[in-house]
Chains A and B, each alone.
Chain A
Amino acid sequence: MIQEEKTVVLELLGVEKSYPGNPPVRALRGIDLLVRKGELLALVGTSGSGKSTMLNVMGALDRPTAGNVLIEGQDLSNLSDRQLSSLRGRRIGFIFQQFHLIAGMSAVENVSAGLLYQGISRSRRHSNAITLLHRVGLGDRLAHLPHQLSGGEQQRVAIARALMGEPAIILADELTGNLDSKTSEEIIDLLHQLNRDGSTIVVVTHDGAIAHSFPGMVTLLDGLVANDSRAA
């Protein structure tokens, strides 16, 4: 595969992140990374290697202390908080370890909340949400509330929400961390499926088996990229 021909979706240039303290905690110590359109990339590392911090910085949830983050060529350091929020809503899909569905809202409502802040009509969002729920295999759970769904089902709803609005990149943080192994496999299969359909996905995980099933794997160690399987 000739990667240079594919559009760069996300780019990190010398990204550093430190948290105040005595001495300051240097979570990221100068990271360079490229994610191209259509990639399915695992971000692995031990606990404390900085992978969650990196995901937050990649997803514009957090600003780096130094260095640049570019999403679809747009340098985030020049953006205001309002612009960052808007960019997250439009171009980035998030999947969290604890699913983080909004309580009191049905599966359809939770998925359609993926585009809640884009000024898109409720009916259009709902019909998109229903299509996506069918795609993740939850066509029969549309009106269920989060607490009426199993963990795997909740995570599928969260995946459908991340897919809303066709984001440039989907960032997942330990998305199988709260699931049993069989359900985990199903969820990982679903990610492969979505990736084959064209989604760009970065998954943070400490599960080597999952990481090895992905075409690309970047290993973090002490806030630095220790290994990038794609470069080899």
Chain B
Amino acid sequence: MTRKMGFSRISFADAIGVGTLGLRTRKTRTMLTALGIAIGIAAMISVLGITSSSDAQLKSELAALGPNLLEITPGESFTGAEVSFPEDASKVVERIGTVESSSAVFVVNTSVRRNEFIPKQQTGGIAALAVDLEMLSMIDGAVAEGQFLDLSSASLPKVVLGSVAAERLGITSTRRSPQVFLDDTYFTVIGILAAAPLAPNIERAALMGVEIAAELFDLQPEPSLIYARVNESLLDDQRRFDETRSVIAASVLPDAPSGVSVSRPSDLLAARTSTQNAFTGLLLGLGAVALLVGGVGIANVMVISVIERRTEIGIRRALGALRGHIRLQFVFESALLAALGGVAGIILGALITVTYASSRDWVISVPTTSLGAGVGLAVAIGTIAGLYPAARAARLDPAEAVRPRV
């Protein structure tokens, strides 16, 4: 009698039951082994999460500051000579359809000192600038102390200090009407600005009205800097945004538009932060090393498990399991072990991110793709780690494996 035989097979549900058996019966070992992977994944997720939260924080800051702010400065002409803007450059810019408003800043050739006894050379890097009254709203600045220039103070010897300038001059309050010394005149400080990350040169300047500047100093009539706010709708349309930039350049200097530099301060800020993020590469690498070590740990534990469970493997072979079933069982167990670690790791990583970001009052951002990738990576490592132990298990000679042992 010859029978036609099909091969042994196992249902999906049963395969899962078999594959989880080893983990269920050795809970402590399972937890400790998964911990290695969990640490690696948590390290990577928290690095990504903290970076992403810091990016999100920056973006929200930039959005608050206004990414539609442009800084227009004279650059170098085609021939390399310095260019200067026409006196009415700010008005010209404002006339462009996509520009909402603009404001000119003039350099005042003077030093800013705490008093007359300080040598002229010790400027502390503080510039004197003449600005119009709209300048503050233009850079989304705010007054931290006192008040900004108004119509009357603009024509009087009064200044408003940028936050950095105030700090360098040692002026923290306007309550006692402190004064600063410019050339040979004492100016009263009527206000101190809050930090303005988009306008670092305003932060480092003493600001006065154009009228008083023209009256007391040798004021260049050409603006050295023009701030412009463009229509917000341009932000979603890079082509129109670039167009506006070239229109601005061509309008300011029709003869030499290449001599006009139109930059976006928020871009610079973003670029500066992204270089800080180069660090994250290193940290991610450390996370990857932790993962690798975790993977080796899993392989190690699986090899031990296969040796311990020789009899079980022999029994399963006697009960009809194919080599493939045994291999699958151990690869599955290994992958599942790593997946447990992966899930624990992403939870841990997300918690670290949330805790860190909220401790710094950041916007919390945990990239969801990194969560999925974290578990995926863990499963991949677990699968690879399980291949060798599983192959050993499948190769066991069933007769040898069920032999009674003393």
Contacts and interface: CB of A to CB of B under 8 A. Distances in A.
Contact of A74 (B3, B6, B13, B21): B3
Contacts of B3: 72, 74
A122 B399 contact: no
Contacts of A105: 21
A61 B399 contact: yes
B7 A116 contact: no
Given A104-B24, A105-B21, A117-B8, A86 B399 contact: no
A125 B127 CA distance: 88
Interface in A80-120: 81-83, 85-90, 92, 94, 96-98, 100, 102-105, 113-114, 116-119
A205 to B, nearest CB: 13
A103 B5 contact: no
B245 interface: no
A45 interface: no
A152 interface: no
Given A61-B398, A86-B320, A116 B404 contact: no
Given A90-B320, A119-B11, A98 B315 contact: no
A119 B21 CA distance: 19
Nearest to B26: A104
B289 interface: no
Contacts of B316: 102, 113, 116-117
Contact of B325 (A81, A97, A117, A174): A117
A85 B404 contact: no
A185 interface: no
Interface residues of A, number: 39
B5 A86 contact: yes
A189 interface: no
Contact of B404 (A97, A118, A119): A97
Contacts of A38: none
A73 interface: yes
B2 to A, nearest CB: 6
Contact of A85 (B11, B312, B317, B405): B317
A32 B24 CA distance: 46
Nearest to A101: B315
B10 interface: yes
Given A103-B312, A116-B10, A89 B5 contact: no
A228 interface: no
Interface string A49-90: 000100010010110000000001110000001110111111
A94 B3 CA distance: 21
B323 interface: yes
Interface of A: 52, 56, 59, 61-62, 72-74, 81-83, 85-90, 92, 94, 96-98, 100, 102-105, 113-114, 116-119, 121-122, 161, 173-174, 177
Interface of B: 1-3, 5-11, 13-14, 18, 21, 24-25, 311-312, 314-325, 397-399, 402-405
14 contacts: A85-B317, A85-B320, A85-B322, A86-B6, A86-B8, A89-B319, A90-B5, A98-B404, A100-B311, A116-B14, A117-B8, A118-B320, A122-B13, A122-B14
Given A61-B399, A62-B398, A113-B316, 18 more contacts: A56-B399, A61-B318, A74-B3, A82-B322, A85-B322, A88-B319, A89-B321, A94-B402, A96-B402, A100-B314, A100-B402, A102-B21, A103-B312, A104-B21, A104-B25, A116-B319, A116-B321, A117-B320
